[in-house]
Structure 1
Amino acid sequence: MKNVIDPFISLIYWPSAGGFGSNTNILETNIINSSVVLSVLIYFGKGVCASCILSNLLDNRKQKILETNRKAKELCKGAIDQLEKARACLRNVEMIADEIQVKGNSQIEREKEDLLNTASENLEQLEDPKNETIYSEQQRAFDQIRQQVSRQALRRAIGTLNSRLNTELHLRTIDHNIGLLRTMMNTND
């Protein structure tokens, strides 16, 4: 008990020691500090229980921790709800994207078929004039060949007639043709 009272006694005699000094004894300094804090609490507290203050501080801290925990749980629940909404939205967007892709592919196929059909029709339309042009060129070539053949035949015939025709045969042919002309004139009248 003497050890507990000694620091208080030394506190009383301390100002008469002539100034401030340092105390290197850890046990004595802790006791001095504790006694100063306790004295201040008793003086300013005057009937307020230190354990009540500490209990109130701890209760306030506990309430703040519980409130923070509750808010954190609410935020977590809200975040989970938002995550679920975002996932649902993502699923909807993926379904819409799949539909768009399917529609796009089918539209591409339709347009491809339409383009092929149009190209086929255009080819057919170009075939008709081409065939007509080929046919007309063939007819013109045939006509030219016929004219050349008939000219050659006429030249040969004239050449043959000139080589075989003498004056007497020539006169007989003229008389025969004149007779044919008279007969034709008489039948027309």
Structure 2
Amino acid sequence: MKKITDSFVSVGHRPSAGSFEFNTDILATNPINLSVVLGVLIFFGKGVLNDLLDKRKQSILSTIRNSEGLHRGAIEQLERARVQLRKVEIEADEYRTNGYSEIEREKVNLINSTCNSLKRLEDYKNETIFFEQQRAINQVRQKVLQQALRKALVTLNSFLNSNELHLRTINANIGILGSVEERTY
């Protein structure tokens, strides 16, 4: 303790009784001043510092609780999204499977429809050919008949002239009328 009190007294000077002097030796007085300032700060600043640290601690704890809540919410959303993704994947697989089945069904239906259309076209073609054959045959028959009639008329005309034909027709009709009259009597 003597060293501390000696540090207040200046080196090389003797204090006289009842006098007061400042020690100008910085190296000797600085640790004492710092210890006094620190003591005052610790004594009076302890409460303020504790309040600041408590507020900061509460703020950090609140932020951690909020972060944990957000983390739990994010995990729940992630799980819901995973469940939804599984459902969508299952539905996509069903659509894919059903789509392939539907495509196969449509392919078979299209093939059957095309075969039926081809069969109808073949039948229509055969009917058209048959109809055209019948029409050609009828045209040939008509031409043959017309030619036969012309030839018969030419032949008749060459054997008979018009007057002779009239007389024969009249005689044939008289003969028919005579046979009809005999039957009525």
TM-score with structure 2 setting the length: 0.52
* Kept after mapping to 2: 8 A contact 1:7/1:32: no
Matches within 5 A, 1:28-39: 31=31, 34-35=34-35, 37-38=37-38
Give, in angstroms, the shift of residue 119 of structure 1: 0.3
Equivalent position SS for 1:13: coil
Q: Partners of 2:96 and 2:56 in 1: how far apart?
A: 58
Which residue of structure 2 aligns with residue 115 of structure 1? 110
Give, in angstroms, the shift of residue 126 of structure 1: 1.0
Number of residue equivalences:
164
Q: Partners of 1:102 and 1:36 in 2: how far apart?
A: 86
Q: Partners of 1:30 and 1:97 in 2: how far apart?
A: 81
One-letter amino acid matched to 1:93: V
CA 1:62–1:92: 2 relative to 1, 3 Å: same
Which residue of structure 2 aligns with residue 13 of structure 1? 22
Residue 91 (str. 1) matches residue 79 (str. 2):
no
Q: Which runs of 5+ in 2 are unaligned?
A: 11-20, 139-185
Which residue of structure 1 aligns with residue 77 of structure 2? 82
Percent identity over paired residues: 54
TM-score with structure 1 setting the length: 0.51
CA 1:74–1:135: 2 relative to 1, 3 Å: same
One-letter amino acid matched to 1:34: L
Residue 71 (str. 1) matches residue 76 (str. 2):
no
Give, in angstroms, the shift of residue 44 of structure 1: 7.3
Matches within 5 A, 1:122-141: 122-135=117-130
Which residue of structure 2 aligns with residue 56 of structure 1? 51
Q: What's the C-alpha RMSD, in Å, of the aligned pairs?
A: 5.3
CA 1:137–1:57: 2 relative to 1, 3 Å: same
User: Which one has more relative contact order, counting CA pairs under 8 Å at least 6 apart?
Assistant: 1
Which residue of structure 1 aligns with residue 100 of structure 2? 105
One-letter amino acid matched to 2:63: T
